Amino acid sequence: MLSENQQAESDIAFLRRYARAVIGQQTMGDKLVDALLESLPQDIVLNMDRLALFARLDAYLTTLPTRQPRHEVRLLASDPRRALLLTALEGFSTDETAAIMKKHGGEVDDLLVSAEKALLSAGPRKVFIIEDEPLVAAHIAQTVRGMGHQVLGTAATSQAAIAACKQEAPDLLLADIMLADGSSGAEACSEITNQTGTPTIFITAYPQKLLRGISGEPAYLIQKPFTAATIKAVISQVLIQQAARQK
């Protein structure tokens, strides 16, 4: 059983994941979480449960347009996007999401329907998968194709991924952090992204190691085991934000 401090650290780690996904940036997402926590006495934070912390953060996020430059907040998720992330990424129930967003349950259901309709709004994209577990890679590929996107290929090692992406640059990378041969999916993505600007969704069994608020951590992070709904939600979030940046 986790101590109060350990539980709080775990909850705060996933607050960072949610804020990063909403904003589309690691640095700003972490700054928002830090600012929220600094505004609350430590003993209150320690005594708040996960739902209460997310409710505070969600309320904080919705006040951003009055406190931040417009170009920095245009990627702020709408109500449907936040509802989808809270359920599909963070695992809250519809009732819990309603409590966090201060909505009625029926309103959240409507928001999720709206979010589902928007899943394909970014149009088809080329996706490359870096994953050393064949069944996991196949699951991701099936989900990606089901969204109408093209899977350029899959690679089980860093070297193979870099070589493949030199042939045809993907629009999106989905990558495990550590690969079976000891190579790094993160390093492969860094090299590919430096050349092409391709955004990355990282997938790992140990997400909290990358949610400590340290510079260079990912903006988008999915925990293993995952569901198709989680993959769909995060992919659509990345692509919608990417389209917004290009306007």
For 220, counting Cβ atoms within 10 Å of its Cβ (0-12 exposed, 13-18 middle, 19+ buried), the class is: buried
- Summarize pLDDT for 162-178 with one digit per residue, the tens: 999 988 889 999 999 98
* pTM for the predicted model, two decimal places: 0.91
pLDDT at 120: 66
Mean pLDDT for back-to-back runs of 10 residues, the chain (247 residues): 71 94 91 90 86 93 61 64 95 97 93 84 86 95 94 95 92 92 89 89 92 92 95 92 71
> What is the CATH number that goes with domain 126-245?
3.40.50.2300
Q: Under CATH, domain 4-117 is a member of which superfamily?
A: PhyR, sigma-like (SL) domain (1.20.140.160)
pLDDT at 72: 47
pLDDT at 70: 47
pLDDT at 9: 87
Query: Would 4-117 and 126-245 be classified into the same CATH topology?
Result: no
Which residue, chain included where needed, has tokens 């934070």?
45
- Summarize pLDDT for 76-128 with one digit per residue, the tens: 678 999 999 999 999 999 999 999 999 988 999 999 999 888 776 667 899 99
CA distance 95 to 220: 25
Nearest Cα residue to 130 out of 187, 169, 174: 174
- Structure-token pair, residue 54: 């997310």
- DSSP designation for 88: I
pLDDT at 5: 72
Q: In what order do the strands lie in the sheet with 221-223?
A: 150-155, 126-130, 172-176, 200-204, 221-223
- Domain locations along the chain: 4-117, 126-245
pLDDT at 226: 94
Residue 53 half-sphere exposure, CB side, CA atoms within 13 Å? Answer: 29
